[in-house]
Amino acid sequence: MEGAALWQGTALAGILFWIVSSSYLGVTRKLRSFLQPWVSHHVETGIPIILQIQSHRLGFLDVFFSGLSCVVSVPFYTAFLPLLFWTGHGKLARQMTLLMAFCDYFGNCVKDVVSAPRPASPPVRRVTATKDEEDNALEYGLPSSHTLNTVCLSGYLLHYILIHTQIQVAYVNFIGLALACLLVALIGLGRIYLGMHSLVDVLGGLFLGLGILALWLTVDEYIDSFVVSGQNVTSFWAALSFLLLFAYPTPELPTPSFEYHTAFNGVALGIVAGLQQTYHQFHHDSVPRLFSPELTIPVFVGRMLLGIPTILVVKFCSKALAKWTLPVVSNTLGIPIKSTAYIPTLKGSFKAKNTDKLKQGGYLQKLFSQHEAFDVDTGIRFLQYAGLAWSVVDLVPSLFSYLSL
């Protein structure tokens, strides 16, 4: 118990020290001044390559690469991972979820540290077939998140299948690896063809993805063991999630990247908190899996028909509860807040409206008064997705058990 508390406290203290020291030393600004010119130069000089690829324009290719991008996008994984939990593949589902959260955080951190542009459009033709793609186009370029996520998740999925099916046939391993490489190549080519990324962005996503995958394959069993049977797991993860919100670098200009990270940060916390309560009931290695006599296709369809509406209701309720409680708590503590989207009455700075009150407040109020008003939407989004993820592994499986699904 003492050993666990010691390393957890050390880890959190290390992150806190990094937040303070990097802010004081201006680490993000210095890294950007070094990396941004180099990356921007390669983005600009890579435009002829993009135009050459786009010269083979076909309507079929627009549809194919747009559809492929949707299949490996964050919204797709958000919809797919709950189904993986409900098919009985709990270990794979939690590993893929936490790996996705790590990829999303690290990749978006790099994007906003470098703050390098995407290829200029025009002359590049940019194809944004969905609202998600339109939002992606507002982010910075390096690295390509689609490429990075595809490398990590397809690589880990291949590793998991080969290890847990104990396939020893060499040609099967080769075919699996070839298919994973083909998928990564098509995603990278598609991001260039769609005008969303330059070659340097895709290569950056490829190499960063390989590095993250190699790291994850060395620590995945330790992380899984800690999540399902460790000590102080929920409290540690909650503190970690909170600190990671502040450790995120400030981009040169605002982008949606921080919003994406906040959502998946909340998902990771919700999954971990829920597993701590229900692992031995619903997510251990002996639970029935899809296509087994206990979990047939009709039963799984019933799970989807019950589970998907339930998690959407929980997401809505979590958002409503957070929109009510967070402003009350912030006002009580004298923390200056604003809302850019969720609460119209808080648009603009709370700080400016409460200057006299803050001057008369205590230490905590004066401390926060030195900071620009916090965007309460961050907390709302975080709690909203934490509630959704918790319901995936706790509430919904409890309903399955109650209804014998």
Residues belonging to the active site: 146, 197
Residue 260 has φ and ψ, to the nearest 5°, of -65, -45
- Here the tokens at position 282 are 């619903």
In this structure, what DSSP letter does residue 391 have? I
> In sequence order, which ranges of 87-232 are alpha helices (DSSP H)?
90-114, 131-136, 145-164, 170-193, 199-229
Alpha-carbon gap, residue 362 to 111, rounded angstroms:
38
Which is nearest to 247 in space by CA: 226, 271, 265?
265
Burial (CB count within 10 angstroms: exposed 0-12, middle 13-18, buried 19+), residue 182: exposed
Alpha-carbon gap, residue 317 to 311, rounded angstroms:
10
SS3 100: helix
Alpha-carbon gap, residue 82 to 237, rounded angstroms:
20
Alpha-carbon gap, residue 365 to 371, rounded angstroms:
10
Strand spans (E) along 144-297: none
Residue 121 has φ and ψ, to the nearest 5°, of -130, 115
Q: Provide the CA 213 distance to its chain's centre, in angstroms.
A: 15
CA within 13 Å, CB half, 11:
12
Which is nearest to 272 in space by CA: 84, 79, 405, 93?
93
Residue with tokens 């075919």: 175
Which is nearest to 140 in space by CA: 120, 124, 116, 121?
116
Question: Residue 235 corresponds to which amino acid?
Answer: S
